[in-house]
Amino acid sequence: MRALVVTAVTAEADSVVAGLTPHPDTPAPEPRLLPGGYPVSRRDLPGLAVDVLVAGVGPAAAAAGTATALARADYDVVVSAGIGGGFAPAAPPGSLVVADAVVAADLGAQTPEGFATVTELGFGHSVHLPPADLAARAAEATGALLAPVLTVSTVTGTAERAAELTSRHPLAGAEAMEGFGVAEAAAAHGLPVLEVRAVSNAVGPRDRDAWRIGDALAALTAGFRTLGPVLANWGERHADARR
């Protein structure tokens, strides 16, 4: 089983790598650089090889970095991982959210009747669905909320924007900026996608004093300590099914 984990920034990648490191005293891997300057760190676990990529911020950068990595190696699953905002009260700071749907929340058009998605406009699709069994097992193992994760190009910073997103996506657990881009690249290669978000702040008015980035990164590390075996077991079951 080989997995590609895509993060936006180095701090997220380091947290994921720490969670995938069986022994704390194991030296951190020296990243290699893909074309375009994308750093990739490798971790090998029983039954699972993981490459952790830093692709950049936003859906376009995430899609480009993911596509670059997928063009150079064969993978079985792609995971978008990092920190993000949580929708209160279901996803408080320090908690984890695993996506049961990866949603492009602001890809579409404003109309007199309200926001229309690209699906409604007839220009494509705005949702990717992770494998239901993998998402459920990942959420159960990590203690995460299983809920849609919204991809936005502009992070929410007002109560009005939070209310508008909640009205359109009442079950949403978190928002972030990369998941849909990662999912688009994975789908182009025929690969399943998973998204895992550690909550650093509440979706709503921008209040940097309330951000808990350190807690979110620690939650990301803890989540990947248990997620590694989940990915390995899921890959083994699906390999048996294909035989």
Q: Where are the domains of the chain?
A: 2-238
Assigned architecture for domain 2-238 = 3-Layer(aba) Sandwich (3.40)
pLDDT at 72 over 90: yes
pLDDT at 242 over 60: no
User: Per the structure block, which two tokens stand in for 49?
Assistant: 């090889």
The model's pLDDT over 205-241, given as tens digits with 9 standing for 90+, comes to: 999 889 999 999 999 999 999 999 999 999 877 765 5
Residue 87 to residue 43: CA distance in whole angstroms:
32
pLDDT at 163 over 60: yes
CA-closest candidate to residue 240, choices 74, 47, 42, 46: 47
> How far is residue 31 from each of residues 20, 38, 79, 228, measured CA to CA in Å?
15, 9, 18, 19
154 phi/psi in degrees, rounded to 5: -125, 120
pLDDT at 169 over 80: yes
Model confidence band, residue 243 (pLDDT cutoffs 50, 70, 90)? very low
Average pLDDT, the chain: 94
177 phi/psi in degrees, rounded to 5: -120, 0
DSSP class per residue in 105-167:
TT-EEEETTEEEEHHHHTS---EE---HHHHHHHHHHHT-EEEEEEE-SS---SHHHHHHHHH
The model's pLDDT over 11-70, given as tens digits with 9 standing for 90+, comes to: 999 999 999 998 767 777 789 999 999 999 999 999 999 999 999 999 999 999 999 999
Average the pLDDT over each of 132-136, 175-179, 209-213 and give the range with the smallest value: 209-213
